[in-house]
Amino acid sequence: MTKFAIIGAGNAGLAMAGHLKRLGAEVSLYDVVEEQLKPLAATNNVITITGPELAGESEIDLVTMNLAEAIEGAGLIICVTPAHVHRFVARDLAHHLVSGQIILLHPGRTGGVLEFQKVLQQQKCPAEVLVVEAQTLLYAARREGAAVNIFGLKKQVTCAGLPTAESRRFFDLIQPLLPQFIPAPSIWHTSLHNIGMLFHPTPTLLNLGRMESGQPFDYYSDGFTPSIAALIEKLDAERLAVAAAMGVTLPSVVAWLESSYGAVGQNLYEALQNTANYRGIGAPRLLGLNDKLKLRYVIEDVPTGLVPVSELGQKFGVKTPAIDAMVTLANILFEADFRASGRNLDQLGLNNLTPEEILSL
């Protein structure tokens, strides 16, 4: 049985580690933050899974802060960290990898494979490895200590590597255990099908006052008001326009909810109200002005979603005013420059390429 190394012990990392172990795999779990792993030390590395689809306990084979130890002998390394730290994971992995290993960015967000491969090259990684990106997370999950509640699993998650033809090795490895992972035609289909850039930054930015009030509310069923959902549909239209300019046909966010969770509606607001898997996922509560700076839905999804889609829009002649407005709002509220620090065309290695050369990838 192939060894799976999970990098990142957050919500989805714990879900992935526990689920794969219950399926009979050998699993190691790594995190750079000691506090993430302390609860597991208290349970002798046992993860407790709760939820409507999966429930039980999994004893992880190895829980460690030693990256080299975690990935030793692993056929598949699954990176379940926030996407804005992928570049640092690539830097740290570069000289521990061996040829033949496969890395899955779960999820890759927009341009994940390109950024990861570029950093490996900059670090002069001696190993020949395959990097694959998933379009989204398989799980809707929240952890508490050594337990993780899995609200639901998506019916399917598309994945692609570069070069695309080599991705078959990944699917041969993962599909016997997790058949939900299916091939996408190319990395542009996974990168431009980044649902996180729609579901995360805009509702978070427009609900900051509510989060700061201390009053609890469900992130999806309450936070996506009719007006916010309608705005997200405008961002979605711009994303689809960029994809069309690049020759990529993708489903709308409403159609994606139906294919992933079986949720239907005449518009995004209705579809989200009918998404049972999202019910009970609470919004963050913020304490003080600077508490928002830890909000992953902004600090991850703006630089790894909204920024690269906007940049690709500029390259392919597609205007993205709604997306650009959210980037600007995030920059102002977070006193940051996410366009400069995020996955811009230079960071992805695309700045000096023509549109035709980009598509030829």
List residues with catalytic annotation. Answer: 200, 301
Q: Which two tokens stand for residue 140?
A: 């809707």
Distance of alpha carbon 272 from alpha carbon 52, whole angstroms? 19
Distance CA 346, CA 115 (A): 10
Handedness of CA 356, 191, 135, 2 (dihedral sign): positive
How distant, in Å, are the alpha carbons of 96, 126, 207, 211 from that of 216? Answer: 43, 49, 12, 8
Residue type, 75: G
CA angle 265, 270, 274 (to 5 degrees): 80
Token reading at 118: 């570029």
The sign of the dihedral angle between the CA atoms of 58, 61, 64, 69 is negative
To which residue do tokens 């959902």 refer? 229
CA 35 to chain centre: 22
